[in-house]
Structure 1
Amino acid sequence: MSRPHALLDLDPAVVRRARALAARAAEPVVEIARSHTTVSVERATLRLAGLSGADHERVPWVNHLVTAVRDEVGLEHGVTTPVYDALLRGEAPDLMTLAQKAASGNVSFRLPTGREATAARRAATKGVGGGLRTIDRSRATRERLIRRHGDPRTKPWIYLIVATGDIHEDIPQAQAAAREGADIIAVIRSTGQSLLDYVPEGATREGFAGTYATQENFRLMRAALDEVSTELGRYVRLTNYASGLCMPEIAALAGMERLDMMLNDSMYGILFRDINPIRTFVDQRFSRQVHARAGIIINTGEDNYLTTADAIEAAHTVTVSQLLNERFAKEAGLEDWQLGLGHAFEINPEIPDSFRMELAHALLARQLFPEAPLKWMPPTKHMTGDIFRGYLLDGFFNLVGAMTGQGILLVGMMTEAVVTPFLSDRDLALQNVRYVMNAASGLAEDFHPPRDGFIQTRARQVLSEAVDLLDRIVHDGDPAGDAPLLAAIADGTFGLMKRPPTGGKGLDGVCERADDYDNPATTALDAWTPPAATRHTSTEGVVR
């Protein structure tokens, strides 16, 4: 399916101003991310160096090792220099043994100087390089499998959720969903995992309303989807969540285990999980750099704003968030084809012209981000339990997706707000998608809203309000603060949630980098650029 022509008569100067303001709002936050580190960034670095596993109480060894280093010498210099110095001094033969000794207080750490510091940093670079090479190999494997099996023949890609809590139950359901037409399988995380300051270990069978995100669960599901990809003759993608207090670690594990998409929004954890804003932005920059190198598509969470705020009055905040997500993502090295920017079909259906407004909002997103595989989310907030009405709303949602060239379409369920969907509900939902896409996928060619009609006017209004909000964020923020975006978040600008930069979970895990801070992972990721040979191959099938 081709991208629709430019159907909205948007003023290019207004669009340029919107992006320029988003860049100005984002820049101070980027500087904060560049000048700070977190416990999760440091743990992710050790995971790239090969440290895994947990003690008998299931506390990961990376947590033990980072905590020990932090307690003795701090993290402002980076964790790898004191860790590899300890290895070179013979405190332990490997990272695992060192972490075990650190957990029992039987090892000492120091900040080496001179030649010893140089040797420790050289050894750390070699160790972390192994994980980065694994990520590179995983990206190359994905490219090879896409060439072998092919991408789905049509767009949008059909995105379907699996989440039983038991990875061994998720696998057959995911394979069945792929056989029924799903192009992307999303394994929803167990409730509350975003607030855990550690990553669970191993295959898990006890998740709640979802399945724990672990390296072993990633490996098992990726292998199962590779199997069904071979069977079906199309590459089936796997999605999970790089968010919460362990965002960098989960991103690193996902890159090594070849996940294809990750939920990764600039403000979701701040607004909806009350995670400290500075912790979130520092962790997010590292995680997005990993995603860029791994060739992973991010999915952002603007749809969540509309579950707490009115979808008409707050429509411009979605556009502002998309522009900010785009800016943060590109600064971290992500390309347009990796930006699964989110939006949703959440206007109250009782409102006159609700469908036309949904169409205007979706067209605006499509035209502002023409090369991005936008993620289009189904109605949830106004699903009442009337399954017949819900099925109709999902059909309208699918129609907007077809008419506006969305890249990733999450399958809506008619039993939303009633029960956890049955397999038969999923079958009916996929039938709805298939019918609409088969019947109306070419409708965009014939659809041209008049220049001063309702849809054009509404889209221009939302864009204008987005520019006004960005202008206020940039110029009317806290004059004593260095980051006006943080002030806007504190004021409840997005999703009606007020989150000050000094509050929220995880602030105690943030520290400012010292002048001699060294982290071989961040150094390599800062220097990385996409290989020319693979830069565009991952866009096969993306709306153009």
Structure 2
Amino acid sequence: MTVLELDPGLVRRARQMAARAADPVIALARAHTTVAVERAALRLAGITGADTTYRSGDVPWVNRVVDTVREHCGLQHGVAVPAFHALAEHDLASLTELAEATAAGQVRFTVPTGRARTRAARAARTAIARGLRQVDRARTRRDKLIARWGDPPQRPWIYLIVATGDIDEDVVQAANAARAGADIIAVIRSTGQSLLDYVPEGATHHGFAGTYATQENFRIMRAAMDEVSKEVGRYIRVTNYASGLCMPEMAVLAGLERLDMMLNDSMYGILFRDINPIRTFVDQRFSRQVHARAGIIINTGEDNYLTTADAVEAAHTVTVSQLLNERFAHEAGLADGQLGLGHAFEINPELPESFRLELAHALLARSLFPDAPLKWMPPTKHMTGDVFRGYLLDGFFNLAGVLTGQSILLVGMMTEAVVTPFLSDRDLALANVRYVLNAAGKLAEDFTPEPDGFIAKRAQQVLSEAVDLLERIVDDGLLDAIADGTFGLMRRPAEGGKGHDGVVEKAEDYCNPAVDLLEEGATR
């Protein structure tokens, strides 16, 4: 694999600065919880279903319990102890029964003390550990199926999107895509779901530009891709979203249903969905702990910065975000092999030497993160609607991916910015990828940029600019840097954004067995 000989001192400095910039935010995340983290803990403990009697739509039982605990005694102590204390007090058999009694106004939640608290905490830990063992079994099952059916024979893995709004139709498109060469199926989420502070129940048949990310939809797609994996003789991976206001819950549901990859970026929701920064950092830490336990590969969202900022001028912000994402991920327990750090082919093709610049940026990422399954994103910003030009541009994107040893290649569509792609569009796009992979083969073995050439110098320049920016962030603070529009030109103040009211500072007696078990790596 081709890598650049970067200045090792500068690389060390970059990681040191990233750690110093991230660590105060990690401390902040450790000191707080959110409604979504508490709901995720109860989901691991086994609560399911929804209250279907609510006038404006179904309300998940987990929301009903967490919201009521917060109303009665606050969430600063965690939801687990009050919930399991009430379960014992009312002699109820399950958390779902507790939710039903809560909805009927029959439960008054309190924070117990003494032996009652010890018993409730022990019962909560036992129930949550049972859920984590289910996550562990799903991970073991994945490993066995990969051993049976095999991984794709080549890298990069081919990543293709389905987005019909009907999970059954998604399955049809996903199966055909896998037969045509796709290795990873990404199920796009219904428009606006990231801003819902609850996870809908059941299968989706009328979504908007995608299906809702629900446990049932996860189960349906994973089961369907298992059948196709058996047919095509390689394990087909499934991707969805652990982002937005329900990031921790999505991570838990993905772990339970054996999804393989999840979009999970430390700052995407802040920048592009205006979700409160503190809420996002607390939620992403817990969600990444779950991903680490489940063996799920995360996909980060640095490619989005280049849709709002210039891909040349802002190249160093992508590198800074990758380094920060790496630090946040490592602290949460993720291994390098789970870091699908994002970057993109988004330089204006009219710019002289644009392809050489793309190679420089891609090789910088590959050289900085040699063991990470980097996710290489296709052109979108400069797709004009000219499908012939777009098809050619996607071919250059595919070639850049081969030359620079990218791990995950999201298939570009010539109809980007024109229509939601048809099956025929996907077929042509996959043909483009197959041609380049077949024709270029192991061309990366023969591609060695000159140490003092254009590509190496450009990569070194971007890395130097990234270190300079990280040093400023260390001085000013990451939250202030985000508020100032450092990333993607989006200004997001620490106290603003959606979901801020769902952030709670932990009390000294805070108890969340899910956090404890994940940090201990324990199974009971």
The answer to whether TM tops 0.5 is yes
Matched, 1:359 2:359: yes
The separation in 1 between residues aligned to 2:442 and 2:150, in whole angstroms, is 22
The letter for the 2-side match of 1:493 is T
2:2 and 2:405 in contact (8 A); partners too: no
The separation in 2 between residues aligned to 1:200 and 1:17, in whole angstroms, is 44
Q: CA deviation at 1:529?
A: 8.0
Q: Where does residue 186 of structure 1 map in the other structure? A: 186
Q: Where does residue 203 of structure 2 map in the other structure? A: 203
Q: Where does residue 536 of structure 1 map in the other structure? A: none
The letter for the 2-side match of 1:48 is L
1:487 and 1:500 in contact (8 A); partners too: yes
The separation in 2 between residues aligned to 1:5 and 1:402, in whole angstroms, is 11
Deviations 1:196-246 (A, max 9, x none): 000000011111011100000000000000000011110000000000000
Q: Unpaired runs of 5+ in structure 2?
A: none
1:309 and 1:496 in contact (8 A); partners too: yes
2:190 and 2:208 in contact (8 A); partners too: yes
1:91 and 1:107 in contact (8 A); partners too: no
Of 479, 489, 499, which residue of structure 1 is paired with 2:492? 499
Deviates more, 1:447-456 or 1:118-127: 447-456
Matched, 1:258 2:258: yes
Q: Where does residue 177 of structure 1 map in the other structure? A: 177
Q: CA deviation at 1:452?
A: 1.5
The SS at the match of 1:517 is coil
The separation in 1 between residues aligned to 2:434 and 2:32, in whole angstroms, is 48
Q: CA deviation at 1:104?
A: 2.7
Q: CA deviation at 1:105?
A: 1.9
Matches within 5 A, 1:105-504: 105-475=105-475, 477=476, 484-504=477-497
The separation in 1 between residues aligned to 2:451 and 2:409, in whole angstroms, is 28
The separation in 1 between residues aligned to 2:422 and 2:204, in whole angstroms, is 22
Matched, 1:524 2:521: no
The separation in 2 between residues aligned to 1:203 and 1:404, in whole angstroms, is 39
The separation in 2 between residues aligned to 1:427 and 1:145, in whole angstroms, is 27
The SS at the match of 1:238 is strand
The separation in 1 between residues aligned to 2:443 and 2:182, in whole angstroms, is 22
2:20 and 2:474 in contact (8 A); partners too: yes
The SS at the match of 2:161 is strand
The SS at the match of 2:50 is coil
Matched, 1:80 2:80: yes
The SS at the match of 2:409 is strand
Deviations 1:312-363 (A, max 9, x none): 0000000000000000000000000000000000000000000000000000
2:2 and 2:404 in contact (8 A); partners too: no
The separation in 2 between residues aligned to 1:366 and 1:519, in whole angstroms, is 38
Q: CA deviation at 1:248?
A: 0.2
1:403 and 1:441 in contact (8 A); partners too: no
Of 19, 28, 38, which residue of structure 1 is paired with 2:34? 38
1:164 and 1:210 in contact (8 A); partners too: yes
The letter for the 2-side match of 1:486 is L
The separation in 1 between residues aligned to 2:224 and 2:272, in whole angstroms, is 32
1:337 and 1:372 in contact (8 A); partners too: yes
The separation in 1 between residues aligned to 2:522 and 2:270, in whole angstroms, is 29
Q: Where does residue 15 of structure 1 map in the other structure? A: 11
Q: CA deviation at 1:9?
A: 2.6
Deviations 1:261-311 (A, max 9, x none): 000001000000000000000000000000000000000000000000000
Q: CA deviation at 1:91?
A: 5.3
2:2 and 2:447 in contact (8 A); partners too: no
Q: Where does residue 538 of structure 1 map in the other structure? A: none
The SS at the match of 1:265 is coil
The letter for the 1-side match of 2:512 is N
The separation in 2 between residues aligned to 1:520 and 1:459, in whole angstroms, is 45
Q: Where does residue 48 of structure 1 map in the other structure? A: 44
Q: CA deviation at 1:92?
A: 2.9
The separation in 1 between residues aligned to 2:256 and 2:363, in whole angstroms, is 36
Q: CA deviation at 1:191?
A: 0.4
Q: CA RMSD of the aligned region, Å?
A: 0.9
The SS at the match of 1:169 is helix
Q: CA deviation at 1:157?
A: 0.2
The separation in 2 between residues aligned to 1:16 and 1:521, in whole angstroms, is 34
The letter for the 2-side match of 1:388 is F
Across the two proteins, how many residue pairs are aligned to each other? 519
The separation in 2 between residues aligned to 1:50 and 1:452, in whole angstroms, is 59
Q: CA deviation at 1:106?
A: 1.6
The letter for the 2-side match of 1:30 is I
The letter for the 2-side match of 1:501 is A
Deviations 1:36-62 (A, max 9, x none): 000000001000011010111311000
Deviations 1:396-425 (A, max 9, x none): 000000001000000001111111111111
Q: Where does residue 26 of structure 1 map in the other structure? A: 22
The separation in 2 between residues aligned to 1:468 and 1:335, in whole angstroms, is 27
Percent of counterpart pairs with the same letter? 74
The separation in 1 between residues aligned to 2:441 and 2:363, in whole angstroms, is 15
Deviates more, 1:359-368 or 1:434-443: 434-443
Deviations 1:248-270 (A, max 9, x none): 00100000000000000010000
The letter for the 2-side match of 1:499 is R
1:333 and 1:529 in contact (8 A); partners too: no
The separation in 1 between residues aligned to 2:423 and 2:88, in whole angstroms, is 55
Deviates more, 1:451-460 or 1:440-449: 440-449
Report the TM-score when normalising by structure 1: 0.95
Q: CA deviation at 1:90?
A: 2.0
Report the TM-score when normalising by structure 2: 0.98
